[in-house]
Amino acid sequence: MRGFLRFSTTALVVMALIAAGMVIFFGDTPAPSQETVDAAADTENSVVPLSDSASGRGAPSTLVGEAKVVVPDTLPASLAGTSVPGGWAKTDVNGSLVPTPQLRQLFEYYLAALGEETLPQLVARIEQALARLEEPARSEALDTLGDYLDYKLALGDLEATYGHDATTNAEDMQRRMAEIRALRRTWMDAQTADAFFATDEAVDQFQVEQLRIRTDPSLSEKEREQALAEAEKALPEPLRQARRETRKFADYQRAQSEFADDPDALRAWREERFGAEAARELEKVEAEQKVWEAKWQAYSQDLAELDDMGLAGPERKAAIDTLRDDYFEGAEKLRAEALDSIR
């Protein structure tokens, strides 16, 4: 619990962590996971793979447009309370579909619930979402969905040929990535494949380059750093920015540790790194966080004593509400209530 309570000490750090949501897949010290290596760093690893048994028949594209599929009135439990991805309904001046990363996100949003509902039901849900499009975009989107489903099945077959061999060789990773890239453009046209996977493929290639550079014994440490910086330039700007913010966060953590007993030195470091205005805001947020942590620790101790009294039901709830009112007010009270709910 204490680890969870150590919220980011600054607004800058929070922004850095949010911006760096994807950076965990390609950090500065890569240790390729089995999934990343075996699938050539394919970033679809959050998706339930399709299989022939998923639909009980051959190509899953045959499910698109299938009638008589009963779709439950409520969403699968894993999707309850979530928002359907937006921004995917793009068309050109002729009314034709413009493939976007958001369209793939829409597909995966529903496919992630495979197992809670059948593939035909999930395909039907996607079709319901696509129904908002006018022709010819609607038919084109349905065709794209069918192609994507067949690609997912083919991808599973390809990955099965890799087995469980741990590939830590950059050349083998490059070959597997090339095979997956070609597979995507076999099942989808180049425009769609680029829209769906451009970011994934840039990250994949960066991972391979990182591995190649870090395992090259001919490079000096300085040459290795220069090569890594050059390889990073190939990433899309949002990802480069995320990596920069992540490094700022790591640097700040090191500075906090180094200057733990010298607040003046830490203040000077902040101003040099972030500027005077941001440094002042940073110091203010940290001070507020320290006050919060002191309150929370005292509250938690009193709460533990209250629990030892053996209260239950409405009586216990009323006692906790009173205790919470004694320590917190406004937004702090809501924060405490939220943290209490996950104890």
Confirm whether 232 is domain-assigned: no
Examine the domain organization and report whether 158 and 253 are in the same domain. no
Confirm whether 221 is domain-assigned: no
Number of independent structural domains in the chain: 2
Examine the domain organization and report whether 112 and 8 are in the same domain. no
Three-point CA angle 272, 30, 240, nearest 5°: 45
Examine the domain organization and report whether 258 and 307 are in the same domain. yes
Examine the domain organization and report whether 266 and 170 are in the same domain. no
Confirm whether 59 is domain-assigned: yes
- The reported pLDDT for the residue numbered 4 is 36
Examine the domain organization and report whether 56 and 201 are in the same domain. yes
Structure tokens at 302: 């009193």
Examine the domain organization and report whether 278 and 316 are in the same domain. yes
Q: Which of 157, 179, 214 is the last residue of a domain?
A: 214
Q: Which of 318, 296, 99, 91 is nearest to 188 (CA)?
A: 99
Examine the domain organization and report whether 177 and 287 are in the same domain. no
Whether residue 95 contacts residue 137, with contact meaning beta carbons closer than 8 Å, is answered with yes
Confirm whether 229 is domain-assigned: no
Q: Which residues of the chain register pLDDT less than 70? A: 1-58, 165-167, 342-343
Whether residue 79 contacts residue 113, with contact meaning beta carbons closer than 8 Å, is answered with yes
Examine the domain organization and report whether 83 and 3 are in the same domain. no
Examine the domain organization and report whether 315 and 208 are in the same domain. no
pTM for the model stands at: 0.62
Examine the domain organization and report whether 91 and 206 are in the same domain. yes
Confirm whether 122 is domain-assigned: yes
Confirm whether 329 is domain-assigned: yes
Determine the structural domain holding residue 163 and report its residue range.
52-214
Q: Which of 181, 214, 247 is the last residue of a domain?
A: 214
- The reported pLDDT for the residue numbered 82 is 92
Return d(Cα 104, Cα 196) in angstroms, integer.
6
- Tell me the three state secondary structure of residue 244: helix
- The reported pLDDT for the residue numbered 47 is 46
Examine the domain organization and report whether 205 and 110 are in the same domain. yes
Examine the domain organization and report whether 56 and 26 are in the same domain. no
- The reported pLDDT for the residue numbered 49 is 54
